[in-house]
């Protein structure tokens, strides 16, 4: 029954070539949601899976940037909509990006489709390559192979406490009045606060006033944080893109990617926080490590990193967290005083993070923890349904229902 329910969520949220994360709260195409959704479609419609990624890349900008939202059609149910972003592009999009999981997904689709889909893979390859170059051109910090986020929404983990201190530098005194839409759909206790929203909107205004000039924003933006999540995800994506380059005989690009990978493998040292024994995001403007252990801190295995000392510390942290809550992996360490069971990225479990963490653990041969993460994800969905996120202590649902990427994670991983 669950499989059928999951499939029908994807079909219902399909708007013809792209899928909305949730019909009411998120009525447009979102970047990394679409990538995960494509994995869900592989369970019953391979052609549709490719289409999801292809439609996302139809919104790519000439400089290689791939936006976090594509406004194919307007919808009053979400703020900030296309007017506030005012990117003047066709199609209209947002001006910020999101974690680059697409290359990893394309490799998976290709593995499943074989020779028959080689042309589709080859057509996407230069676009994926351009996006990676965009990150390396505009978002790398001192060429270290890290990813700098200019907006909390870029990290995909909107209100993680990692952004609290760096976010204090954002001037919100001038933000023109606006009306949030999310809190008319959902309980405000599950959502970011008003103060956080003011910062989100102030950064949108800041980018718009500078015409979304990526080079300039990279130099001047008041919020610049090396995000552990995006850094790990791009490192993984570059490894998968390298496999595609090799299969296509694209030697120059393969060499270029090997350079990016080598740099990132060194660069992550800057994110390692020996005091807490985990990878943590770090403010580029002040140099300070956040010190927060979040679910993104466990993406090192997914990124293909291996270091006996660090791995031991990370596995110990995950085990300790697993003893404190019934369901792994909470978005914030439950021992942290700021842990909140239902408030978005300050505690709840997210199926897509579990998918990446679980897959990484499995690849690293950490079978016990890999199984626990996968079974916890399965139990959460069985117990509560295809919600946006889940309370790690009780498994109760939080956020919106009928979420596309939760259904997708069920179909490609948790429910199998
Ligand atoms: C929220 C999430 C983000 C996701 C989006 C659409 O903003 O934090 O990760 O992409 O919703 O589901």
CATH code of the domain in which 364 resides: 1.50.10.10
Ligand 1, atom 2: closest residue by C-alpha: 156
Ligand 1, atom 3: closest residue by C-alpha: 156
DSSP 369-405: HHHHHHHHHHHHHHHH-S-SEE-TTT--EES-SS-HH
Confidence of residue 114 (pLDDT cuts 50, 70, 90): confident
**Per-residue pLDDT tens digits for 8-67:** 999 999 999 999 999 999 999 999 999 999 999 999 999 999 999 999 999 999 999 999
The residue from 158, 164, 265, 401 that is catalytic is 158
Rounded to 10°, the helix 46-57/31-41 angle is 160
Nearest-atom index, ligand 1, CA of 405: 12
- The domain tally of the chain equals 1
- Whether ligand 1 lies within 6 angstroms of the CB of 26 is answered as yes
Rounded Cα gap, residues 100 and 66, in angstroms: 9
pLDDT score of 227:
98
Nearest-atom index, ligand 1, CA of 345: 8
**Per-residue pLDDT tens digits for 270-298:** 999 999 999 999 999 999 999 999 999 99
Do residues 248 and 122 touch, judged by C-beta distance below 8 A?
yes
* pLDDT at position 141 over 90: no
Compute, in angstroms, the gap from residue 79 CA to the centroid of ligand 1. Answer: 13
- Whether ligand 1 lies within 6 angstroms of the CB of 80 is answered as no
- Per-chain mean pLDDT for the chain: 97
Q: What is the mean pLDDT of residues 250-265?
A: 98
158 given a catalytic annotation: yes
Contacts 24+ apart (CB under 8 A), 383-390: 385/5, 386/5, 386/6, 386/9, 386/410, 388/22, 388/350, 389/331, 389/344, 389/348, 389/349, 389/350, 389/351, 390/327, 390/348, 390/349
- Whether ligand 1 lies within 6 angstroms of the CB of 32 is answered as yes
* pLDDT at position 1 over 80: no
Compute, in angstroms, the gap from residue 254 CA to the centroid of ligand 1. Answer: 32
Residue 208 is encoded by which pair of tokens? 């718009």
Helices (H) and strands (E) in the chain, counts: 16, 9
Q: What percent of the chain has pLDDT over 70?
A: 100
**Per-residue pLDDT tens digits for 201-215:** 999 999 999 999 999
Q: What percent of the chain has pLDDT over 90?
A: 98
Q: Residues in the chain, how many? A: 416
Rounded Cα gap, residues 223 and 92, in angstroms: 24
Distance of CA 230 to the CA centre of its chain: 7
Q: Which of 209, 203, 201 is nearest to 221 (CA)?
A: 203
- Whether ligand 1 lies within 6 angstroms of the CB of 399 is answered as no
- Whether ligand 1 lies within 6 angstroms of the CB of 182 is answered as no
Compute, in angstroms, the gap from residue 155 CA to the centroid of ligand 1. Answer: 9
- Whether ligand 1 lies within 6 angstroms of the CB of 30 is answered as yes
- Whether ligand 1 lies within 6 angstroms of the CB of 156 is answered as yes
Compute, in angstroms, the gap from residue 156 CA to the centroid of ligand 1. Answer: 6
- Whether ligand 1 lies within 6 angstroms of the CB of 33 is answered as yes
Do residues 401 and 386 touch, judged by C-beta distance below 8 A?
yes
Ligand 1, atom 6: closest residue by C-alpha: 21
DSSP 93-155: B-SS-----HHHHHHHHHHHHGGGGHHHHHHHHHHHHHHHHHIIIII-STTSS--EESSGGGG
* pLDDT at position 240 over 80: yes
Distance of CA 400 to the CA centre of its chain: 17
> Which residues constitute the domain of residue 175?
2-414
**Per-residue pLDDT tens digits for 366-387:** 999 999 999 999 999 999 999 9
The residue from 154, 283, 388, 402 that is catalytic is 388
- Whether ligand 1 lies within 6 angstroms of the CB of 18 is answered as no
Compute, in angstroms, the gap from residue 327 CA to the centroid of ligand 1. Answer: 21
């Amino acid at each position: 029954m669950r499989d059928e329910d999951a499939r029908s969520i994807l079909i219902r949220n399909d708007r013809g070539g792209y899928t909305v994360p949730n019909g009411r709260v998120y009525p447009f195409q979102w970047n990394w949601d679409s990538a995960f959704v494509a994995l869900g479609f592989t369970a019953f419609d391979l052609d549709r899976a490719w289409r999801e990624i292809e439609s996302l890349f139809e919104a790519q900008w000439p400089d290689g940037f791939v936006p976090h939202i594509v406004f194919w059609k307007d919808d009053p149910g979400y703020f900030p909509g296309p007017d506030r972003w005012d990117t003047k592009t066709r199609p209209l999009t947002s001006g910020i990006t999101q974690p680059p999981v697409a290359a990893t997904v394309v490799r998976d689709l290709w593995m499943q489709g074989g020779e028959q889909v080689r042309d589709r893979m080859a057509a996407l390859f230069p676009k994926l390559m351009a996006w990676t170059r965009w990150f390396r051109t505009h978002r790398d910090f001192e060429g270290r192979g890290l990813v700098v986020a200019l907006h909390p929404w870029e990290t995909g983990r909107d209100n993680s406490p990692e952004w609290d201190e760096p976010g204090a530098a954002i001037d919100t005194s001038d933000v023109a009045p606006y009306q949030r839409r999310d809190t008319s759909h959902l309980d405000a206790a599950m959502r970011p606060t008003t103060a956080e929203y003011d910062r989100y909107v102030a950064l949108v205004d800041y980018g718009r006033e500078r015409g979304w000039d990526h080079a300039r924003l990279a130099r001047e933006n008041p919020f610049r944080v090396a995000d552990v999540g995006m850094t790990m995800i791009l490192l993984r994506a570059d490894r998968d893109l390298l496999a595609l380059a090799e299969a296509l005989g694209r030697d120059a690009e393969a060499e270029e990617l090997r350079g990016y990978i080598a740099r990132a493998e060194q660069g992550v040292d800057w994110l390692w926080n020996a005091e807490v024994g985990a990878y943590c995001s770090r403010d580029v403007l002040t140099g300070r490590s956040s010190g927060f252990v979040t679910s993104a801190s466990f993406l090192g295995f997914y990124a293909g990193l291996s270091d006996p000392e660090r791995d031991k510390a990370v596995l110990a942290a995950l085990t300790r967290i697993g003893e404190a809550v019934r369901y792994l992996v909470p978005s914030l360490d439950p021992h942290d005083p700021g842990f909140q069971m239902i408030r978005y990225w300050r505690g709840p479990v997210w199926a897509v993070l579990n998918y990446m963490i679980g897959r990484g653990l499995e690849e690293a041969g950490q079978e016990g923890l890999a199984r626990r993460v996968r079974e916890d994800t399965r139990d959460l969905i069985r117990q509560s349904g295809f919600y946006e996120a889940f309370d790690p202590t009780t498994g109760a649902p939080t956020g919106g229902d009928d979420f596309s990427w939760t259904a997708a994670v069920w179909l490609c991983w948790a429910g199998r």
